[in-house]
Structure 1
Amino acid sequence: MLLRRTTTLLFAKNLAVQPLRRHLSNPISPVNQDDLLRVCTILYQQQNSPESRLHSKLTSSNFQLTHEFFLQVCNNFPYSWRPVYRFFLFTQQQQEKNPTFTHSSVSFNKMLDVVSKSRNIDLFWNLVNETAVRRLANGKTFVIALKTLGGARELKKCVEFFHLMNSNGCGYSVERLNKVVDEMCRVKLVEEAKFVVFKMKDWIKPDGVSYKHLISGFCEKGDLIEASKIWNLMVDEGFVPEVDAVEKFMETFFKVNQFGEALKLFETMRLKRMDELDVSIYRLVIKWLCKKGMMSRAHEVFDEMCERGIQVDSLTLGYVVYGLLAKHRVREAYQVVEKIAVVDISVYHGLIKGLLKLRRANEATQVFREMIKRGCEPNMHTYIMLLQGHLGRRGRKGTDPLVNFDTIFVGGLVKVGHSKEATKYVERVINRGMEVPRFDYNKFLHYFSNEEGAIMFEDVAKKLREVGLFDLADILERYGQKMATRDRRRNRLPIIEDTNI
């Protein structure tokens, strides 16, 4: 009885699942939540029972089997293949008695997704074969299959999958190959994607898009040698590198500190393909030139961008403002900001980051107040920058317990029930020796992003004001108000603007 109650509570939390778009032949029908809870409980409790016993239990529950019902069951077991697969076998039996119920591409893809997450490759491959035989495979099936098989290093099966699908109605298609390669590269399976592309060359000739995805994948991985090989191969085959691939290459060169190579590539684009240069590439070049303090060169690129009639976006302006401040050209930075009609968060971030680099944390906080006053809502990055500016990247540990962030952080973790995290942090502090552990502001804010955190930040803000730290108090209090309930946010007071109280 206790187990049954526990199981019922376990599934009750997961039943509010938003319906997805379904295949037209299987319109969405309402699901009886009591039936769903009962069936999921049976599947959970009887997942290791003999087939006859499980089927008897399910049959006696008298639920209405529909396409939507099957999907909802799958949603309640997102990482557990056994209940889903055994329910699928039951539906196969019921399909003979209930001809109105049929599986579709959506239901098979849902089941494949669940099995893929459990890494049961043998069962997954059997289901892939069944999907192919029933001719229910679509683009999503290809993505699920190749990501799963590639992730498990089943490279021969990756190639075999294309041949299997071709023999069952899904012909060889470069568009489908490109979609699969793109998705594999996004999840860091670029080596596996390359294997598939080259092994399938006799049946599917890769195009410029295929090579672009591989180049982007290797650049994301930081493997410039392999990316260069793909680039040369693409050029040898007569394809012109797409602008996206060029931009990704330039970005990677910048990241690995090969500024000369990145700028050479940019100059080549300016000479041969000037018409294809857009705001994205100009922004990338300006961003890194400003980071390196090469402001005269950044101004040249910026002026060229304006002369060509390309609309300058806020991100680019933010980088320019930061670059000027980093070179101590504060007046020019403020003049740029004053000329902008609508200042958004990107420009404010450039201003705040630049001022913090100059160790002008109080002035950065004043900009923070100004952006709130103008209706520009700060995000998590804003708060992290400001806290690092006031407290340093490793936090502040002082004699005054009111401003000792080790105490605030550990005490707060315990209060919100993260005792294990608190213990780990204390161990790091005790054993740090000469090397002080970096204070994780992201975690600090994340743990207190709730109503309890709002109350805690109010208390901390009061204590900080008692010792004269008004800027820090305003930042934390504002974050607490942001995390408060809707009613409290509606009634919150405006932030204090005068720091000389």
Structure 2
Amino acid sequence: MLLRGRILAKVNNFLRFPLEFHAIYQAVSKSYFPHFSTSHYSAVKHYPMSGNVSSKQAEKCVDFGRKHAVDVVISKVLEAKSETEVFQSLVHEFGCNTIQITHSSVARLLHRFQDDWKSALGVFRWVESCSGYIPLPELYDKLMDILGKMKQMDKMKALLEEMREDHIISLNTIAKVMRRLAGAGDWKDAVKMFDQLERFGLGKNTESMNVLLDTLCKEKKVEQAREIFLELKSHIPPNANTIHSFTMR
């Protein structure tokens, strides 16, 4: 219940709901959110939704695990022009309680929109808002990588903060963030990520040091990597992978 509340709060922060849409929400919520308790109403009512819900819509049951169902969602997403429109369109068309969302189908959608961060983010916020479904940490990592690849650093960092609050950050998450930051020329921010590892529930050890050094070396920041290594080696023991990061450049 607590996690679902956090998810609803995220969507509330993601999209603000103008007052003129409150009446529309009341119609939509009867079809799409019958299982939400009144304690969650204040968060849900801020979803921006548009259009009227037809009686046939409540009868829809899309098996999201089937390939053609994913194709239907993709076609709907392609009609939208922003992450907000993607979210609105999917909520209006499919709702949440009338579909079966699976991890594999979400992974396929993120793969399909790996070069389209707006669609990927809109889709992810939609599935994230659905009660009964919690994305795997690996799916968060995939979205993180998409945002970083498309140079959406502020959104990437905001997603990282959400993951920190939910305690689902792994070293793989940090590795993706470091590499995207360094790849965008922000290698100093990549180093700051290493400095803040404890804040994300991770430790400064040989493995995390190697991730940082390898990231810097791959981005042609070998001298900076050497300086950091000399500073860290007194309290973090290197291993064969540490040496490999330098010898292969």
TM-score range, shorter chain: 0.5 to 0.7
Shift of 1:136: 1.6
Once the two structures are TM-superposed, the CA of residue 211 in structure 1 deviates from its matched residue by 5.5
1:31-42 alignment to 2 at 5 Å? 31-42=65-76
Paired residue secondary structure (2:182): helix
1:72 pairs with one of 105, 108, 125: 108
The separation in 1 between residues aligned to 2:95 and 2:115, in whole angstroms, is 25
Aligned length: 185
Distance verdict in 2 for CA 1:166–1:202, change over 3 Å = farther
CA distance in 1, matches of 2:100, 2:223: 46
Q: Which residue of 2 aligns with 1:207?
A: 238
Aligned to 2:145: 113
Runs of 4+ in 1 over 6 A off after TM superposition: none
**How far has the Cα of 1:184 moved from its partner?**
4.5
1:42 maps to a residue whose letter is K
Residues 204-226 of structure 1: per-residue CA shift (max 9 Å, x gap): 63535476245325xx3xxxxxx
In the TM superposition, residue 33 of structure 1 has moved relative to its aligned partner by 0.9
Contact 1:132-1:165 within 8 A present in 2 as well? no
Q: 2: distance between equivalents of 1:122 and 1:190?
A: 26
Matched to 2:69, the amino acid is D
SS state at 2:95 partner: helix
Corresponding residue of 2:168: 136
CA deviations on 1:80-121 (whole Å, 9 max, x unpaired) are: 111111112112321xx22xx212221111111211221111
2:28 alignment partner in structure 1: none
Relative contact order, higher structure (CA 8 A, sep 6+): 2
* Structure 1 residue 141, shift from structure 2 partner: 1.4
Task: Say whether the 8 Å CA contact 2:179–2:190 is kept in structure 1.
Answer: no
TM-superposed deviation, 1:195: 6.2
Q: 1:31 to 1:120 in 2, by over 3 A?
A: same
Larger Rg: 1
Instruction: Give the gaps of 5 or more residues in structure 2.
Output: 1-62
Deviation at 1:45, TM superposition (A): 1.4
Distance 2:187 2:219 in 1: 16
Does 1:45 pair with 2:76? Answer: no
- Return the alpha-carbon distance in structure 2 between the equivalents of residues 84 and 196 of structure 1: 35
Deviation at 1:31, TM superposition (A): 2.1
| AA aligned opposite 1:66 | T
Quick one: structure 1 residues 127 and 183, their matched pair in 2 at CA, closer, same or farther if it must change by over 3 Å? same
In structure 1, C-alpha distance between the alignment counterparts of 2:73 and 2:91, rounded to whole Å = 11
Instruction: Please say if residues 169 and 200 of structure 2, whose CA atoms lie closer than 8 Å, have aligned partners that are also in contact.
Output: no
Contact 1:35–1:61 (8 Å) recurs in 2: no
Cα distance, 1:194–1:91 mapped onto 2, change above 3 Å: farther
Does residue 55 of structure 1 match 2:87?
no
The answer to whether the 8 Å contact 1:165/1:171 transfers is yes
Inter-CA distance 205–69: structure 2 relative to 1 (3 Å threshold): same
Work out whether 1:216 is the aligned partner of 2:216. Answer: no
Return the alpha-carbon distance in structure 1 between the equivalents of residues 221 and 94 of structure 2.
40
Q: Is the 8 A contact 1:112 1:128 kept in 2?
A: yes
Give yes or no for the alignment of 1:169 onto 2:205: no
Per the alignment, in what secondary structure is the counterpart of residue 137 of structure 1?
Answer: coil
Task: Indicate conservation of the 8 Å contact 1:181/1:210, yes or no.
Answer: no
Instruction: For 2:74 and 2:223, locate their aligned partners in 1 and report how far apart those are by CA, in whole Å.
Output: 39
> Does the aligned pair in 2 maintain the 1:149–1:157 contact within 8 Å?
yes
Q: 1:130 to 1:42 in 2, by over 3 A?
A: same
Letter in 2 for 1:57: E
SS in 1 for 2:200: coil
2:117 is the alignment partner of 1:86: no
Q: Give the AA of the match of 1:72.
A: R
Structure 2 counterpart SS, 1:35: helix
Taking structure 2 as the reference length, the TM-score comes to 0.62
2:198 and 2:66 map into 1 onto residues whose CA distance is: 40
- CA gap of 1:113–1:129, structure 2 versus 1, over 3 A, is same
Code of the aligned partner of 2:201? G
Once superposed, what is the RMSD of the aligned Cα atoms?
A: 3.1
Give the superposition deviation at 1:167.
1.9
Instruction: Supply the distance in 1 between the matched residues of 2:152 and 2:98 (Cα, whole angstroms).
Output: 31
Mapping of residues 165-314 of structure 1, within 5 Å:
165-186=197-218, 188-191=220-223, 193-194=225-226, 197=229, 201=232, 205=236, 207=238, 209=240, 212-217=243-248, 220=249
How far apart, in 1, do the equivalents of 2:70 and 2:92 lie?
Answer: 16
Matched, 1:124 2:156: yes
Contact 2:217 2:246 in 1 (8 A): no
TM superposition shift of 1:159? 2.7
8 A Cα contact 1:172 1:204, kept in partner: no
SS in 2 for 1:157: helix
Q: Which amino acid aligns with 1:46?
A: A
- The percentage of counterpart residues that share the same residue type is 18
